[in-house]
């Protein structure tokens, strides 16, 4: 099987990888497209000492099971299927025995095939107008689900003032989701030109001077989507007393923070990770969240190492990898 292999911080293309052998209750998926995200870049930089096939954002065709022959996306956390977490609303996202597609003890999506539990899969549906969902857009289901997770954890954001720190791939999706939910969104980052994409009421540069609050109105909620500890520290000063700070990214290293503002201002500090795929896929299928403008370039599978290098360059948004012998016509 063809795919990308990560070991000792080096990603290489290989054509001798073993095909996945699904366990009971699992389904093989022929990957059509996979997306490169910040987690993949972190793994390539040594995060979690990962060895294997990375990649967890994907769309592909189920090779067996209930959705055989259909295009599907899949939730990336594969739990035991028996514990209270797996049987409850979390659907195994915090199962103590879980593995995670392309991240933890489960080969990922930068390959011709992968395997996932059948219960993790969702089929692509047509839009209300009957137009099929573009498979390239379906790749965004996983990161968009992570953005929608904020609404599950902090409901009723309509009318609230929200700051999203970070205008990269995830930050842009978070801003889109919050704005769609009725929040008044400001975006802080390095690319003011990204506001015309249709997100945010205003944008400002995220640097050592502008991140400090100097008399600006305080926000009801701020979301950290940069992975930088100094930004998280600064956000404590941008949120009103009893407001909420959402941590959406990890730093990949130990971090020291002064938590005094959290106590003095009684801030709500919320950790946020993976989310339900249903609202994300519905938003893509109805066109409520637009993602075409975020697709930067597409690379063939044998150029996966170059795709990751490109994704790591400043200013680059979503890089896709098509995993078939040829890129399909949509």
Structural domains present in the chain = 3-140+291-322 (3.90.180.10), 146-271 (3.40.50.720)
What is the sign of the dihedral through the CA atoms of 124, 74, 95 and 289? negative
pTM: 0.91
* Tens-place pLDDT, residues 55-93: 999 999 999 999 999 999 999 999 998 999 898 877 789
Sign of the CA dihedral 77, 163, 140, 17?
negative
CB contact at 8 A, 114 and 60 = yes
Residue 240 DSSP SS3 = strand
Question: How much is the mean pLDDT over the chain?
Answer: 89
Cα 108 to Cα 7, 172, 199: the distances in Å are 14, 24, 31
Read off the tokens for 241. Answer: 């007393």
Please, are residues 250 and 267 in contact by the beta-carbon 8 Å criterion? Answer: no
Higher pLDDT, 199 or 320: 320
**Looking at residue 39, what is its pLDDT?**
92
Percentage of the chain beyond pLDDT 90 is 73
Task: Please tell me the predicted confidence (pLDDT) of residue 112.
Answer: 98
Residue of 61, 38, 77 whose CA lies nearest to 228 = 38
User: Using only C-alpha atoms, what is the Rg of the chain?
Assistant: 20
Q: Could you tell me the sign of the dihedral formed by the alpha carbons of 219, 224, 228, 229, in that order?
A: positive
Tens of pLDDT, residue by residue over 197-208, are 555 555 555 554
The residue whose two tokens read 């968009």 is 144
The average pLDDT across 168-178 equals 93
* Element (DSSP H or E) covering residue 11: strand 10-14
- Return all residues near 40 (Cβ < 8 A) that are at least 6 apart: 54, 55, 56, 102, 308, 311
Cα 177 from chain centre:
13
């Amino acid at each position: 099987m063809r795919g990308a292999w990560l070991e000792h911080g080096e990603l290489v293309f290989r054509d001798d990888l073993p095909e996945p052998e699904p366990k009971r209750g699992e389904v093989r998926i022929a990957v059509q497209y996979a997306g490169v995200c910040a987690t993949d870049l972190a793994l390539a930089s040594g995060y979690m000492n990962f060895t294997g096939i990375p990649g967890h954002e994907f769309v592909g065709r189920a090779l067996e099971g209930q959705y055989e022959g259909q295009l599907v996306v899949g939730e990336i956390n594969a739990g035991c299927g028996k514990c209270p977490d797996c049987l409850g609303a979390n659907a195994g996202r915090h199962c103590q025995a879980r593995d995670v597609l392309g991240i933890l003890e489960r080969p990922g999506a930068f390959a011709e095939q992968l395997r996932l539990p059948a219960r993790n899969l969702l089929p692509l549906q047509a839009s209300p107008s009957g137009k099929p969902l573009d498979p390239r857009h379906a790749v965004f289901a996983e990161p968009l689900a992570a953005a929608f997770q904020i609404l599950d954890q902090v409901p009723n954001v309509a009318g609230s003032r929200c700051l999203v720190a970070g205008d990269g791939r995830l930050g842009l999706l978070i801003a889109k989701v919050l704005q769609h939910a009725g929040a008044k969104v400001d975006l802080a980052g390095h690319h003011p030109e990204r506001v015309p994409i249709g997100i945010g009421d205003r944008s400002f540069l995220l640097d050592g001077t502008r991140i400090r609050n100097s008399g600006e109105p305080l926000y009801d909620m701020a979301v950290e989507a940069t992975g930088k500890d100094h930004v998280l520290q600064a956000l404590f000063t941008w949120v009103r007393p009893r407001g909420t700070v959402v941590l959406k990214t990890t730093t990949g290293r130990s971090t020291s923070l002064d938590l005094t503002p959290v106590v003095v201002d009684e801030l709500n500090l919320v950790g946020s990770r993976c989310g339900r795929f249903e609202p994300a896929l519905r938003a893509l299928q109805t066109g409520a969240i637009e993602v075409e403008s975020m697709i930067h370039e597409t690379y063939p599978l044998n150029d996966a190492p170059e795709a990751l290098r490109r994704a790591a360059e400043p200013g680059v948004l979503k890089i896709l990898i098509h995993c078939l012998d040829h890129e399909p016509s949509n």
